[in-house]
Chain A
Amino acid sequence: MNVIFIIVEIMLAFALALSFIRLAKGPTMVNRVVALDLIAIVVVGMMAFEAVRSGEHALLDVAIVVGITAFIGTAAFAVLIDRDARAQK
């Protein structure tokens, strides 16, 4: 079991690092918003992993709430980009 945990941990950390790179150097605003959404999803995965590893079932509820509210941030950024594009026209 321990080997599986280590592999999953490394994969999640790698995904987080890749999306942070995209967040830092993304050429446009849209790339950064997608990277932020991806980071939220990876964090949900990390919480689910931690819930399985430690047996703390309360972390699963935290993961549900983070997963729902991450959508709100992405929608707000989308509205902001839309308004900017309309203002520049």
Chain B
Amino acid sequence: MKSSPILDITLRWLVVLLGIVSFFLLLRGHDEPGGGFSGGLLAASAIIITTIAYGADAGRKLLHFQPLSYIAVGLILSVLAGLFQWDAVFMSSIWVELSLGFTIIKLGTPLLFDLGVYIVVLGVVSSFVLEIESIVKIKKEGL
């Protein structure tokens, strides 16, 4: 399929922008709107728009790993966030303050859990889209 130059140039910036905004939503999601789920959906929409424009192979190349391995890694991270504490209730949160001199970064197990959710959502949605795109392509070649 011949693609248009408008779509080409828009996509080059839009994919980068979607990645940045999704990461922003992931990091600020603890006590403001956002979080792992919506960040993951936004990251998956970068895969969706690439798949729409250039086909399923370009989407797979952008994803770099198999979608199923994304789901596995995300689930492992989420369970790991719950296993950090032995004497407290499962999934109770632990915070660590990392001081870098000019600022203080608060890291904790909720962030690890959110990162797991982000990776799982990215894997699930992009596996849906890539699978549907392959089915459409097979049907079109069959006609």
C-alpha spacing A64/B34, complex, angstroms: 12
A71 contacts the other chain (CB 8 A)? yes
In the complex, are the beta carbons of B52 and A71 less than 8 A apart?
no
Residues of A close to B140: CB separation below 8 A: 83
Task: For the complex, give the distance between the alpha carbons of A72 and B129 in Å.
Answer: 13
B52 in contact with A76 (CB, 8 Å) = yes
Cβ of A79 within 8 Å of any chain B Cβ, yes or no, is yes
Beta-carbon contact of A61 and B14 below 8 Å: no
A65-B52 in contact (CB<8A): no
Is A69 part of the binding interface, using a Cβ–Cβ cutoff of 8 Å?
Answer: yes
Q: For the complex, would chain B's binding face be called helix, strand, loop or mixed by DSSP majority?
A: helix
Q: Which of A58, A64, A72 contacts B52 (CB 8 A)?
A: A72
**From residue A75, how far is it (CB to closest CB) to chain B in Å?**
6
A68 touches B21 (CB 8 A): yes
Which of B41-49, B57-65, B90-98, B108-116 has 4 or more CB atoms under 8 Å from chain A? B41-49
Interface size on A, residues (CB 8 A): 14
Does B10 touch A at the CB level, under 8 Å? yes
- Interchain CB contact (< 8 A) of A58 among B18, B32, B38: B32
Q: Which residues from A are CB-within-8-Å of B25? A: 61, 65
- Residue on A with the closest CB to B22? A65
Which residue numbers of A lie inside 8 Å of B, CB to CB? 58, 61-62, 64-65, 68-69, 71-72, 75-76, 79, 82-83
A79 CA / B33 CA spacing, docked (Å): 32
A72 to B: closest C-beta gap in Å: 5
- Tell me the minimal C-beta distance from A22 to chain B in angstroms: 23
Q: How far is the CA of A79 from the CA of B49 in the complex (A)?
A: 11
Q: Which residues of B contact A61 (CB under 8 A)?
A: 25, 33-34
B11 to chain A, nearest CB (A): 9
In the complex, B76 has a CB within 8 A of chain A = no
A79, B38: Cα distance in complex, Å: 25
Given the interface pairs A72-B45, A75-B53, A76-B52, the reply to whether A58 lies near B33 with Cβ below 8 Å is yes
Are the CB atoms of B21 and A65 closer together than 8 Å?
yes
A74 to B102, CA, bound (A): 44
